[in-house]
Structure 1
Amino acid sequence: MTTSSRVMLVLASVPIHVVILGLLQVLGALGVFLFGMKIMSEGVQRVAGKRLRLALAGLTTNRFSGIATGFFTTSLVQSSSATTVLVVSFVNAGLLTLVQSIGVIMGANLGTTVTAWIVAMVGKFDVSSVALPLIGIGLPFLFIGKNKGKSWGETLLGFGLVFFGLGLLKDSVPDLRELIKTDPGTAETIRNVVTWMGGRGMASTLLYLFGGIILTLMVQSSSAAMAITMTCALNGWLGDVGDPMLVFRNSAAIVLGENIGTTVTAWLAALGANVNARRAARAHFTFNVIGVLWMLIIFKPFTMMAWHLAGYLQDHFPSAAGDAHKSEIGFATAIFHSAFNFANICLLVAFIPQIAKLVEWWVRDKSPHASDVRLKYISQGLVDLGELNLAEAETATKRMNTITSQMFDGFVNVLNNPHEDLSSEVVRLKRMEDDCDLLLHDITSYLIQCSAREVGPGNADQITSMLRIVSEHEEASDRIYRLVKVVQRKYEKGHQFSDDRHRELSSLCTQVRAILDLCTNALSGVTAEMFENANRLEDRIDQLRKQHNKSAMRRMQSEGEVPTEMLYTEINNHLEAIGNHALNVIESAQRSKESKSYVRADDD
């Protein structure tokens, strides 16, 4: 009888409710582990979200600092998928270049190996002796803690659930040696299947590698896939633990597959994003596939090296359970995972520019001159990234501010050059106004999606502030384009302003441009002096508008050209309205700053 026939015969003899119950126990344990990782990751985001955003966006000046940033971020968030999706999001927003993103992704691959060490250490002590105390410490903070105190409680609770879930997973996957005593037929059949899969040289390595890809795609988490792999290896599902070297090599092959499988998450996240974001996702895939290919060439000597290192560690950290084979397999898998990713970084870090060129050739920009202003919320699915994704909204808000300022400069250019054909400039300004409309829609939708996740009080106020700011910018851009149309109508009708009127409008435009500059500075932080200057400028703009309109009314009463003076008055009113919108932006930024200061004081 063939192996496949024996498997079908055994499966048919096992009661269906036993199979379902066993699967549910494994899935339940995996669910506790993933839920703990989710809570812990989101707690860390709320504790250090601003610092993580600044680290990802600002500490990636070279490839080595990018690698370090990716490593520490993933070690904290405990999800390489979340980090790489966040990198894709930042590239989409223009916060990271393609070359910078590759360095961060390399570091994320190394950071995710922390999970393997956690799982390897589970056999060193009683999991409940760590998990339950952590949950016990974190739980009270959920009820009595405020802001960061509560977030610290969630972090401890999540970390405890991660350990608790690993312990449950270890207990829910049956040990084949124990199964031999209760159901020798089933155990023997499973052992025959594993022996058949593991005794075919390189074909077995490729078979287990493919299984690692499928496993990671199914659970959508390389950390969870690693936990399952190591648990199955320690319980004899990847070979007889009496032959630990074979079990280790099978688990190492699965780890290689998981390194490829985890790239799919970022690939899917980049669908619909801009060209650079898709390139970053392809770079992640390329980097990991190249690493797997060269590792397959030296797979046997590399695993032998990891095995010897594991034996050295085993001598210094004897197993609490007294099972040396199990302990050595766990350490060897963790060592292989870390050593492989570290070696891959060392080998390819010098070729980051070449990888960037490869993915640029792979993902071509079909419209390099098109305006790319769309904003897309990118989420990993398992771990909410509402806290960290705010950086992209901040960048889009600043981009909207830049467009508004550039539109105003374009209006002044049209106003001051009545004898030139600036129809192409009018078309460009209309396109910019349309971009502002799109950004208002995208940023609003994006911020609503961010706020649908759990965010800290300070960031909740920041979301409210940004919603007001982008609305004011969109109103200002509408006003600016109306000004352009008014000036265009003036030229078409042949109306002429006197030199005095031009000087008055130039004076008012100068004041409006000054308050728009303050808007730009306010998005990076509002000072008391800046706020006073903004109010003073707005008062001056309002005063000039009233003076100019009164003069226009007097000229109309003394038989001046009414249509010309009406156009002049309309321009003054629009300019004053733009000043009002700019002041509203600065006031919103000021309130956001005050709420953040209150939250920090409350945390202290």
Structure 2
Amino acid sequence: MDSSTLIKMVFELAGGLGIFLLGMKHMSDGMQAVAGNSLRRLIGTVTNHRLFATTVGVVVTCIVQSSSITTVMVVGFVNSGVMELSQAVGVIMGANVGTTITGWILVLKVGKYGLPLLGFSAFIYLFARRDRWRYWAMFAMGIGMVFFGLEVMKDACSTIKDMPSFEAWFARFSADTYLGVLKCAMVGCVLTTLVQSSSATLGITISLATQGLISYPTAAALILGENIGTTITAFLASLGTTTNARRAAYFHVIFNLVGVFWITLIFQWYIRLIQAIIGVDVSQAVMVDGNATYPHTVAAIAATHSVFNVCNMLLFMPFVTPMVRLLERILPSLPYKEKSRLTDLDIRILESPLMAIEQSRKEILKMGDGCLKMLEWHRTLMLADSPDPKLAERLKHREKVLDSVQDEVAEFITNLLSGNASHATAEEARRQIRLADEYESISDYILNLDKFDRKLRRNEFRFTEAQRTDLEALNRLVYTYVSEVHQALTNYNPNVLKDTDASNKRIRDQVKILRRKHLEELSAGTIPPVVSVAFMASLNAYIRVRDHACNIAETIANQK
């Protein structure tokens, strides 16, 4: 064997693996972009119901094509406090099942069509004008790259047969005995840990198995080891996080370790069961260009991966609550608050732009809720006969909180836009930056309203009883309008301008009436100048609140 053959094999193997992994990324990005709002809403519906949480984990992982992305996201959600540990456990179990879809994609006998599929979809991706067509093309391009990369790796592996020393080295890894199974599982674990991708190890395993360099039992044992190796990503992501986030990562490790342990005890019976299920002889060779290949092993490997993860999930399902209690005992809660930020945003969520944009949207909805509370508090403070320092302080504190939340949302979305976000996600991100700014501006004007009232009280003045009645009525109108706009944002209502037009006009008409009435009272000379200035400033502040709410409505309707 000359060095040129070895170099050629290494280059082909590395190139094939790179194309394979890039294809997996394109598949993930394309599907996430196509799934769009459906995936975002699905993520937001995770509940404590373990079966539903598990189903969400399966579906999300099938779409993003990576259990590592899903589990890292879960660690981020738990770290930020928006997902309970019991919810995270269900999603993680589902992610382990969802990741097996990769193997079944490779079962499709379209290997030789990988390159044409890649070429045709690339043309569509480059020249299509509609984003949806481009994202479907990206997904198809990813599939083409996966199969083309797999073919390149298979060709590289076929040259190993001409290298007796390499073939003898692979022959040392056999899953005929229990110790051999553990050894192969360890190799799969280490390889997955090094490349940080179970899909990469799966591609290499299938390439070796189809060329006959390793037997089906050896390939099955390698796949089991990959389940342990893939936990390293979430474990590393949990370093430096809250206690609850580390519990979620530890559950992922325990879940896979226990699963691999019990399956290795019955490994020989298990692989015979898989062969009986798929109904094909994995040892049957098919001659391709004069070389013996074993294509039936691909389906067997995919079935091995899927059946194991489904059985492990069903085994753990009844013990979710005891597992959560065990993790709480292993990692007890700290006596102080661990969260250092006001928002529930976490940089780990940026791994998946769709999940990240949904999370930042939730923070903006919280800003809207805060503005509505501030309007209520101001109405209470204005009508009170004597000042309420605690409520006034709460109002001021809420305005400062919304300032900080806007800064955190802006920083988070800026980091999101600097990554590889789709056009639709980038558009939504830019809208969210504007929404956060509008809500923060609303909070500023509400605080100003309270300042006008407090300044009058300090100077031993008050709005007249009639003015307080008029301002209270205007406050309620503004509250109704802001609430309607906020509800439209919550419900993704594109008809918000039409639905809220009546409330908007009522505020405008009411302010005109109050200004006219106030000018008439000024002519009578019965109102002190300081009260007059404060009243007109209050009317202007309410109009500005309405204007910013109108800007939010226009943003929702995509008119600006």
User: 1:165 Cα deviation (Å)?
Assistant: 0.6
Q: Contact (CA 8 Å) 2:175, 2:181: kept in 1 or not? A: no
**1:38, 1:158 within 8 Å by CA — same for their partners in 2?**
yes
Contact 2:48/2:86 (CA < 8 Å) preserved in 1?
no
Residue type at the aligned position of 2:508: D
Per-residue deviation, 1:365: 6.0
Determine helix, strand or coil for the equivalent of 2:20: helix
Q: Secondary structure at the match of 1:364?
A: coil
In the alignment, structure 1 segments of 5+ residues that lack a partner are 1-12, 596-604
Pick from 434, 437, 449 the counterpart of residue 400 of structure 2: 434
Does the alignment pair 1:218 with 2:163?
no
Q: Distance in 1 between matches of 2:175 and 2:146?
A: 34
Query: Which piece of structure 1 moves more, 160-169 or 249-258?
Result: 249-258
Deviations 1:317-352 (A, max 9, x none): 974649888446544433321121011011111222
| Equivalent AA in structure 2 for residue 445 of structure 1 | E
The reply on whether 1:68 has 2:55 as its aligned counterpart is yes
Give the match for residue 99 of structure 2: 112
How many residue pairs get matched?
A: 553
Matched, 1:32 2:19: yes
Post-superposition offset of 1:27: 2.0
Which residue of structure 1 lines up, in the alignment, with residue 471 of structure 2? 505
TM-score relative to the length of structure 2: 0.86
Whether the 8 Å CA contact 2:46–2:87 is kept in 1: the answer is: no
1: CA distance, partners of 2:332 / 2:11: 42
Match of 1:444 in 2: 410
Which residue pairs with 1:140 in the alignment? 123
Change (3 A) 1:513 1:30: same
In structure 2, the residue matched to 1:161 is 145
Contact 1:141–1:152 under 8 Å retained in 2:
no
Match of 1:5 in 2: none
AA paired with 1:110?
A: V
Amino acid at match of 2:111: V
> Which secondary structure does the structure 1 equivalent of 2:348 belong to?
coil
Q: 2:233 aligns with which of 265, 269, 275?
A: 265
Does the Cα contact within 8 Å between 1:519 and 1:586 map onto a contact in 2? yes
1:292 and 2:276 correspond: no
Match status 1:356 vs 2:324: yes
The runs of 5 or more residues in structure 2 that have no matched partner are: none
User: Aligned partners of 1:138 and 1:516: how far apart in 2?
Assistant: 46
C-alpha contact (below 8 Å) 1:263/1:285 kept by paired residues: yes
- Aligned mates of 1:126, 1:347 — CA distance in 2: 35
| d(CA) in 2 for partners of 1:345, 1:323 | 40
Contact 1:93/1:396 (CA < 8 Å) preserved in 2?
no
CA 1:512–1:535: 2 relative to 1, 3 Å: closer
Tell me the C-alpha RMSD between the 2 structures.
3.5
CA distance in 2 between counterparts of 1:465 and 1:369 reads 31
Matched AA of 2:193: L
* 2:357 corresponds to: 390
1:347 paired to 2:334:
no
Partner SS state of residue 346, structure 2: coil
Q: Partner amino acid for 1:462?
A: E
1: CA distance between counterparts of 2:236 and 2:448? 41
Q: Does 1:464 align with 2:430?
A: yes
Cα separation, partners in 2 of 1:368 and 1:59, compared to 1, 3 Å: closer
- Assess, with a 3 A threshold, how the Cα gap between structure 1 residues 374 and 86 changes in structure 2: closer, same or farther: closer
1:447, CA displacement in angstroms? 2.6
| Aligned-residue offset at 1:224 | 1.3
1:6 maps to none
Are 1:150 and 2:140 counterparts? no
1:36 to partner: Cα distance: 1.0
Partner secondary structure for residue 163 of structure 2: helix
Alignment check: 8 A CA contact 1:411 1:483 kept: yes
Counterpart for residue 570 of structure 1: 537
1 CA distance for matches of 2:175 and 2:273?
Answer: 21
Question: Counterpart of 2:504?
Answer: 535
Q: Give the CA deviation at 1:456.
A: 5.1
Is this contact kept in 2: 1:39–1:155, CA < 8 A? yes
1:300-339 to 2 correspondences below 5 Å: 300-309=268-277, 312-314=279-281, 319=286, 321=288, 326-327=294-295, 329-339=297-307
Q: How many angstroms does 1:494 deviate by? A: 3.1
- The CA distance in 2 between the partners of 1:212 and 1:305, in whole Å, is 22
Please say if 1:100 is aligned against 2:84: no
Quote the Cα distance in structure 1 between the aligned partners of 2:183 and 2:407.
48
Distance 1:466 1:288, change over 3 A: same
Alignment partner of 1:58: what SS? coil
User: In 1, distance between residues paired with 2:7 and 2:115?
Assistant: 28
| Aligned counterpart for 1:550 among listed residues 519, 537, 556 | 519
Q: CA 1:487–1:168 in structure 2 vs 1: closer, same or farther (change >3 Å)?
A: same
| Farther off after superposition, 502-511 or 320-329 | 320-329
- The more displaced of 91-100 and 495-504 is 91-100
The one-letter code sitting in structure 1 at the alignment partner of 2:368 is: N
> Which residue number in structure 2 is paired with residue 423 of structure 1?
389
Are the counterparts in 2 of residues 89 and 392 from structure 1 also a CA contact under 8 Å?
A: no
CA contact (8 A) 2:504 2:546 kept: no
Query: Which of 362, 375, 390 pairs up with 2:345?
Result: 375
Aligned twin of 1:602:
none
One-letter amino acid of the structure 2 residue matched with residue 31 of structure 1: G
1:406 corresponds to which letter in structure 2? K
Change in Cα spacing, 1:232 to 1:438, as seen in structure 2 (3 Å) is farther
